[in-house]
Amino acid sequence: MSGPLDGVLVVDLSRALAGPHAAMMLGDLGARVVKVEHPGGGDDSRGWGPPFVGPPGATEATYFLSCNRNKESVVLDLKSEKGRRDLGRLLARADVLVENFRPGVLDRLGFSVEAVTAANPRLVVLSITGFGHDGPEGNRAGYDQIAQGEAGLMSVTGPRPGEPVRVGVPIADLLAGMYGAYGVVAALHERHRTGRGRVVRTSLLAAVVGVHAYQGTRYTVAGEVPRAQGNHHPSICPYGLFHAADGLVQISVGSEQLWRTFAAAFELPVDEPGFATNAERVGAMDQVVAAVEAAFASWPVSRLLPRLADVGVPAGEVKTLDQVYEWEQTRSQGLVIEVDHATLGRINLPGPPIRLDDEPRAGGRDTHLAPPTLGQHTADVLAWLDSLDRDSDRDSDRDSDRDPDGDQP
């Protein structure tokens, strides 16, 4: 498969989005990812739709397709003795376990962190929870939109204070998966030195707090409580979304020199009160925004964007997703990949966001695997485990035939 994580075996016990996204990131970089699903329908996200695509009786949820490329699917009934035994065989050979059960669920199944790491001390365990594995609210279930609200993200997102808006993708889940994969790679690197794995923990709460950035320090250092203020930056002005004659553009005027150049090009006041410095402009944001929109009112977007580029002002339009995926720049970065799906045939998927060296294909693999159908690889993976067990038994028999001095009989 190639890639920097080639040879790493990941057992993905997670479902929904945070854990599957983390495991997919590891698979994108070349790890072998075996996704363990329950026999009653598999990962919850297989049923999250519409939209569903595919032939009658074999439809797939596009939600599931979004976070499960580069994986194999194995169906195991963990309530049965055989299912638990097969999972134990997988974990004995795994490098990484990814799980996002509520605290205590794996313990009841007999696969507590203590048990699996005792059986395989080299195992790196990634555990993703909603609000942390401990603390006064550590047992709370984690759902993305609830976490967006509880972790403060929605309070700074929306048109104005008092009208919170969620981010348009499950950002808490996605960030938790990204932080989790980042922690796993660090733990695998450390294992080269120590010979032992480590438990990596993150949560939806931690992931969102981790990206508060300057909004966080506004409170922790300056004592200000940030509020939503729509599509304009709270600390830089003008920086945001503006109306032109026939559409919308976004601009970022990030320095005083650029402000002066921009203001001269569009006949805006430069040194008047409220306009002279960035701090003044932030304080008079409504006035500045109104002045910029008045200047843009006669400019169609098709002419305004080239003019802004000539002046040196970073600018862009607001694309719809169809425009994004058809955009040549998107495709030039390997961000759309083609894969062969077992029931859907040749399909396009959003691609991995990392390129290594100058490879045109994103991710670290030679080829990408389509998201699996439920149980698509059960027989192959169990046969592989059986062959490893037979090899291990033969090695044990040979060792037992040796005399105490290590000579052959």
pLDDT digits (tens, 9 = 90+) for 252-275: 999 999 999 999 999 999 989 999
DSSP percent split of the chain into helix, strand, coil, nearest 5: 40, 15, 45
Task: Label residue 226 by pLDDT band (50, 70, 90).
Answer: very high
Q: Report which of residues 233 and 393 the model is more confident about.
A: 233
CA terminus-to-terminus distance, the chain: 42
Q: What φ, ψ does residue 340 adopt, rounded to 5°?
A: -100, 110
> Is residue 64 within 8 Å of 39, Cβ to Cβ?
no
State the CATH class of domain 9-211+326-376.
alpha beta
Report the greatest alpha carbon distance in the chain.
Answer: 98
Task: List pLDDT tens digits, range 168-199.
Answer: 999 999 999 999 999 999 999 999 999 999 99
State the CATH class of domain 239-316.
alpha beta
Task: List pLDDT tens digits, range 313-322.
Answer: 999 999 999 9
Report the alpha-carbon distance of residue 394 to residue 207 in Å, rounded: 47
408: its two tokens: 């052959």
Q: Which entry of 12, 173, 358, 393 is annotated as an active-site residue?
A: 173
Domain limits, the chain = 9-211+326-376, 239-316
Task: Label residue 408 by pLDDT band (50, 70, 90).
Answer: very low
Clarify whether 340 is annotated catalytic.
no
